[in-house]
Structure 1
Amino acid sequence: MWSRRAALALLLGLAVGAGAAQPGATTLHLVTETSPFVYAEGDRVGGPATARLELILRSAGIDDYRIDIYPWARAYDLALKQPNVLIYLIARTPEREQQFKWIGAFMEQSYDFYRLRSRHDIAVERLADARRYSIGVVRDDVRHQFLRGQGFTRLLLASQSVETVRHLLNQRVDLVLLTEADWMVLCRQPQLDCAQLEKVHRLAELHTGLYAAFSQSTPDALVQRVRRAFDGLKAEGKLKL
């Protein structure tokens, strides 16, 4: 039989072990995708959105976190299913409202349909007109979810916006939906000849704010700390992208 001293030592050992495991269990995981506001800088994740978010976390007294860039669908899935996940930049829509704990808006975003300049047969004056055409979208992006919710079925899914533009240039799709920021960054890439593209219609039905948001299973106390930090820095004008 074990002595009382041995049993006490075992209990103390378990308690220490449990305490040592806590920091790793509560490490905040920031997930995102490559965009005009987030990109790799050597071996770290940078970009203006990342810089603002790290400023918010410092203001909230949080330094135990890591940042990973994924294809959007992977980042979105992690934020839906895992605790202590902070996703950015994510469009806030009615469909997503109850799926996340929202922090705050960094900027507003509008979306435009683009076609090949040579495709004079493609005309879009309202959303219903776009139903006649195939459209390239990023999987689980707000554009994909919006069009799917509107009953669109001719959607070619990609993991990144650059792929949708390649699909358009290769005439695998008739249209793509891009933001002004998408356009500016993608068209700097020498392999993409954006002179072949032209804007045909602004999708007025889809105008969103881009936010940071926590997964639903993240503790409310942590969410509130970051919200307070966000609100304070935004009031000081330090969060503009």
Structure 2
Amino acid sequence: MGKIHCQHSVLATFLMLFVCLNADATPLQVVTEDSSYSALDGDKVVGVASEVVEMTLAHAGITDYHMALYPWARAYDIARLEANVLIYPMIRSSAREGLFKWVGELEHVMPSFYKLRKRRDVLVTDLQDASHYTVGVVRDDSRQQYLEGKGFSRMVVSANNLDNLRKLISGQVELIPMPEREAREQCADLHIDFEDLESVFTLDELSKGLYVALSASTPDETVQRITAAFARLKQNGTVDRVIAGQ
């Protein structure tokens, strides 16, 4: 009986080691959306936030990863449902707090409702006013979730903010919520003047940090390495310089 127990112990140890080695060998999925922070250049994901993420993984000693750009709802589902996934940039909210392991803040943002400046018929002085207009939102984005919670029912859902801006220009929606940085870059992408837009109401309650996060079932050792690497880059000012485009 002692010999059999010993053999079982050795086998159990071997199996645990095998599982751990295979977990470490699983490539990290890195997912993001098309935004002012990340974009696709040919077959490569680029942008200021993507640069920060690549620097973080390099400092963490993680080289086996695949970076891909998806519509936000798809990227969010991958990170929410699968293991070993890094997602960015994502607003950290109370509803999402327990769903992910949070690495660190890229930037603090404050969205506003934008309308076309020429639309003098669109008048917004408070959130209640805004609810009377059609609003363009991104599927499963925190802004959609927030506005749904506030009783907004006239929302038009798109895959990304660039589509929302197109709909604003074409008159399909009357308002879009986004931070100024994103609004300016989306206007540049569509070759329109940012001054054609007008900020009409600031969404103070959505003033939150944009984060890098990991799926909840990502191994703790991986989380610790990535979090520590990001913290070093944040502390020495690298994150802020890259995000600012310096």
TM-score normalized with structure 2 length: 0.85
Instruction: Quote the offset at 1:232 in angstroms.
Output: 1.6
The runs of 4+ residues in structure 1 deviating greater than 6 Å are none
**Within-5 A mapping of 1:70-219:** 70-190=70-190, 192=192, 194-219=194-219
Q: Separation in 2 of the partners of 1:172 and 1:34?
A: 21
8 A Cα contact 2:138 2:144, kept in partner? yes
8 A Cα contact 2:184 2:194, kept in partner? no
Instruction: Quote the offset at 1:24 in angstroms.
Output: 8.8
TM-aligned CA distance change 1:24 to 1:160, over 3 Å:
same
Unaligned runs of 5+ in 1: 1-14
Identity of counterpart residues, as a percentage?
A: 42
**Helix, strand or coil for the counterpart of 1:29?**
strand
Q: Separation in 2 of the partners of 1:103 and 1:86?
A: 9
Unaligned runs of 5+ in 2: 1-14
Instruction: Quote the offset at 1:190 in angstroms.
Output: 4.4
Q: Which residue of 2 aligns with 1:226?
A: 226
TM-aligned CA distance change 1:226 to 1:126, over 3 Å:
same
Instruction: Quote the offset at 1:193 in angstroms.
Output: 5.8
Instruction: Quote the offset at 1:173 in angstroms.
Output: 1.4
Q: Write out per-residue CA displacement over residues 169-220 of structure 1, whole angstroms, 9 at most, x where no aligned residue.
A: 2211121112112122111134546554221111112101010101111111
Q: Separation in 1 of the partners of 2:95 and 2:222?
A: 24
Q: Which residue of 1 aligns with 2:22?
A: 22
Whichever structure has more helix as a proportion of its residues is 2
Q: How many aligned residue pairs are there?
A: 225
8 A Cα contact 2:139 2:158, kept in partner? yes
Instruction: Quote the offset at 1:42 in angstroms.
Output: 2.7
8 A Cα contact 2:27 2:84, kept in partner? yes
RMSD: 2.0
Q: Write out per-residue CA displacement over residues 86-142 of structure 1, whole angstroms, 9 at most, x where no aligned residue.
A: 000000011111111000001001111111223222211121221111100111111
Counterpart residue identity of residue 40, structure 1: L
